[in-house]
Amino acid sequence: MRTPAEPSVIVSHLKQDDKGQYLCQRNDEHCHHVAELAKQFAASFGMGEWGYVLGQLHDKGKEKHQFQAYIRDVNGIPGHTDYTREGKAHAYVGALEAYHLYGKQAIPLFCNPIASHHRGLYDYSELEVILRQSLPQEVTQVTEKRPLSRPPFKIEGKDFHHLVRMLFSCLVDADYLDTESFMNESASKARGCHTSLSSLLPLLEQHLAHLNHLSPLSDVNPIRSEVQSCCRQMSDLPKGFYSLTVPTGGGKTLSSLLWALRHAIHHGMRRIVIAIPYTSIIVQTASILKQIFGEEAVLEHHSAFNPDTIQGEAGRHRAKLATENWDYPLIVTTNVQLFESMFSHRPSDCRKLHNMANSVLILDEVQTLPNGYLQPIVDTLKSYQKMFGLSVLFTTASQPVLSGLIEGCNPRAAFQGIDHIKEIIPKGYALHERLRRVRLEIDAEGSTYDDIAARLSRHDKVLCIVNTRSDAKEIYERLPKEGLTLHLSRMMCPRHVAQTIQTLRQALSDPSEKVIRVVATQLIEAGVDIDFPTVYRQEAGLDSILQAAGRCNREGKMESATTYVFSLSKEHPLYGSLTEANQARLSMTHVEDWFAPDTMTDYFRQLYSRKDTFDKKGIKSLLYRPAELSFEEASKEFRLIEEVGKTLFVNRDNSMALIEQLKREGISYSLMKQLSLYSVNVHESDFRKLVSCGAVEEVVKEIYVVSDKLQYDEQIGLRLDNHWMNEILLL
């Protein structure tokens, strides 16, 4: 540490100690430390020296006189105002040096990450403009041009943007970490989880043995043991692509983790990432993992999780820090968080990516991957496996077709899937037959809401799953309100949904609850551990129907149970992609066994044949040509969940106190995390309707609140009608 008053010191960062004395980190020190860290990170995929060059050059621009004036001025040192807004910019200088040292090959791999390490990766057209600038005279040349070995893998056009983004990740995380070690030593020391995967395996084995000992004798438990045995036997195979196709109730969640842990330990891999499509399943899965391994070994990273709920200040702090770069042994996250980070241009999103190298990725409920993004997603998984040593496990009861040539109705949309996916469960095990606990009854005739409500009312315990929030509300309101009658949809805020699912679970385990009727949207369809003797499912794709059937007689306690498939065509036609999925199922006219894996393969072939694209946002045209990479544009286009409508915060529990805090203090990460538990997303037309009746208030720009408590119903969630007008009409 030296005082910045000395003109000869090239400052990278400044801070004041407890006594008000200035301490500085010299720029050469910072660049060297970042280079060593980036080298360490990039070494995990065989490009350590490339990482070193990125770190060495990234902050060369801080040698500019105007930047040195700027950093002293903003830190309160008088007499340093001789700089302009343009003059304090520094990231482009290291990019220019890289170009001068390494030529054209440096433009995507060095120049873009260095020039972008604060604002995010540039589109190629913008980067070209940046590289036309001149090096400032006062910046010293780096005399050493380090020798660079070729990457240890073959790079194709579709791989290249991932390699750039991965090197960018190494640089960004190294820069953040070294800056933090100087500016915030306490945060730096709190980082990381030192638990190893090898220490977690005995805990899982112990838990599985305990479950086996406690479980009652049934036909299901020996099958679960067989699935686990297969996972053990197949875990030491080479890195690559694997699938675990297990019908509902077969113990897929823990078996997949058993395979992943043993596979990772065998290959010296660093962590396991579990990506799940729905927050309801994530919460359930994370809770199970934390019970087995302890909260300190499992990182949740999704919109519905607030680290402030973790007990102990140190644990809360460590988890918040870990969401930035995923430096944990077990990460449970959403498909949205995972894949949008893989296509992002932003430093904050990309920072975590290098920690996926040499790891295991479990993609749960893989059949939910959106077909409109299937090609960029599959190509991404292939690139990560080839270049960064990832092993991928696809888990589901309804395995989609991801290998071979994937063809749609447009011949130009066809693309090559994964060359080989190794199934862990031998076909001869016939799990779909041995775990068969339910039969399907499909009614193609149209029904009304009244018809379905009447049919549900004949059952004491029944679950009905429909496609839309409005259908759920209409059927629920027609049911007799006897016993426990529940509604579940995204018109309810996340906290309300979680509480209702918990209420349902408790009721199902209580023998005194004689009547339990539930009407829900698909949010309860996949992965949620509930068990009903009878299930009704509105017509949809075969994968959705079989997922719903998995909530029926889940534990195999009944000799026979039925899932009824019905149509609401007397009320309205199906919408959008549901129509294609349903038509793909209806076209399968000679099916002998709806539950057979071959039937599911046929269904996905039928579904794909109706698709005119597997890349609806043209990601290929933006990222598959190495000389014309458009990172920022692709980042904006790749959105697994389209941002339609508006998010409203509702009046429930203490949400209005949080809103008042928001008005006083402004937006913060922690506050918005807490508020997200009370959010409901509505279509633009419904938003305008609520605005027109005065139900919506804009408390901060683009943050809207429905503060009237009566506008939120404890049974159905946010009401879209004007409750005041309804009361006037009643009078």
pLDDT tens column, 629-688: 999 999 999 999 876 689 999 999 999 999 999 999 998 877 888 899 999 999 999 999
Q: What is the pLDDT of residue 725?
A: 41
**22 and 161 co-located in one domain:** yes
| Rounded Cα distance, 489 and 313, in Å | 34
Q: How confident is the model at residue 728 (pLDDT cuts 50, 70, 90)?
A: very low
In a domain, 609, yes or no: no
In a domain, 300, yes or no: yes
Read off the pLDDT of residues 123-146 as tens digits, 9 standing for 90 and up.
999 999 999 999 998 888 776 888
Q: What is the pLDDT of residue 614?
A: 97
**290 and 333 co-located in one domain:** yes
Read off the pLDDT of residues 314-360 as tens digits, 9 standing for 90 and up.
776 677 788 889 999 999 999 999 999 999 999 999 999 999 999 99
In a domain, 516, yes or no: yes
Q: How confident is the model at residue 311 (pLDDT cuts 50, 70, 90)?
A: low
Residue 485 β-bridge partners = 517
What torsion, rounded to 10 degrees, do the Cα atoms 498, 504, 510, 514 define? 160
Alpha helices in 354-487 (DSSP H): 374-388, 431-434, 449-456, 469-478
The conformation of residue 482, written as its DSSP 8-state character, comes to -
Domain boundary among 429, 454, 489: 429
Distances from the Cα of 84 to the Cα of 43, 87, 88, 675, angstroms:
39, 5, 6, 40
What percent of the chain is predicted at pLDDT more than 70? 94
Domain extent, residue 356, equals 197-429
SS3 133: coil
CATH code of the domain covering residue 246: 3.40.50.300
Alpha helices in 467-569 (DSSP H): 469-478, 494-508, 542-549
pLDDT beyond 90 at 710: yes
**477 and 565 co-located in one domain:** yes
Read off the pLDDT of residues 242-260 as tens digits, 9 standing for 90 and up.
999 998 878 899 999 999 9
In a domain, 622, yes or no: no
| Rounded Cα distance, 259 and 392, in Å | 11
pLDDT beyond 80 at 526: no
Q: Of 89, 108, 104, which is closest to residue 167 (Cα–Cα)?
A: 108
DSSP, residue by residue, 595-651 = TSHHHHHHHHHHHHTT-S-S-TT-HHHHHS-GGG-BHHHHHHH--SS---SEEEEE-
In a domain, 1, yes or no: no
**389 and 490 co-located in one domain:** no
Read off the pLDDT of residues 41-58 as tens digits, 9 standing for 90 and up.
999 999 999 999 999 999
In a domain, 124, yes or no: yes
Tokens of 61: 């621009």
101-108 mean pLDDT: 91
Beta-sheet pairing, 703-706 with 241-245: unpaired
297-314 mean pLDDT: 73
**491 and 420 co-located in one domain:** no
| Rounded Cα distance, 358 and 720, in Å | 48
Q: For residue 191, count other CB atoms closer than 10 A to its CB.
A: 16
In a domain, 605, yes or no: no
SS3 80: coil
Read off the pLDDT of residues 430-479 as tens digits, 9 standing for 90 and up.
888 888 889 999 998 999 999 999 999 999 999 999 999 999 999 999 99
**516 and 551 co-located in one domain:** yes
Q: How confident is the model at residue 1 (pLDDT cuts 50, 70, 90)?
A: very low
Q: What is the pLDDT of residue 309?
A: 64
One-letter amino acid at 435 equals L
Domain boundary among 134, 159, 190: 190
**480 and 559 co-located in one domain:** yes
Contacts of 658 (CB under 8 A, 6+ apart): 671, 674, 675, 678
Q: Give backbone dihedrals phi and psi of 236, rounded to 5 degrees, phi first.
A: -95, 15
| Region at 560 (left for phi over 0; alpha for psi -120 to 50; beta for the rest) | beta
269-288 mean pLDDT: 89
**286 and 359 co-located in one domain:** yes
Domain boundary among 592, 609, 631: 592
| Rounded Cα distance, 373 and 613, in Å | 9
In a domain, 626, yes or no: no
The residue among 611 and 4 whose pLDDT is bigger is 611
pTM of the full structure: 0.91
pLDDT beyond 70 at 726: no
pLDDT beyond 70 at 271: yes
71-92 mean pLDDT: 87
**225 and 304 co-located in one domain:** yes
Distances from the Cα of 462 to the Cα of 42, 459, 490, 648, angstroms:
54, 6, 20, 31
**361 and 479 co-located in one domain:** no
How many independent structural domains does the chain possess? 4
| Rounded Cα distance, 483 and 477, in Å | 15
Contact 383, 155 (CB under 8 A): no
- Please count the CA atoms within 13 angstroms of the CA of 604 that sit on its side-chain side: 22
Contact 552, 530 (CB under 8 A): no
| Region at 438 (left for phi over 0; alpha for psi -120 to 50; beta for the rest) | beta
CA 656 centroid distance within chain: 29
**443 and 425 co-located in one domain:** no
**275 and 300 co-located in one domain:** yes
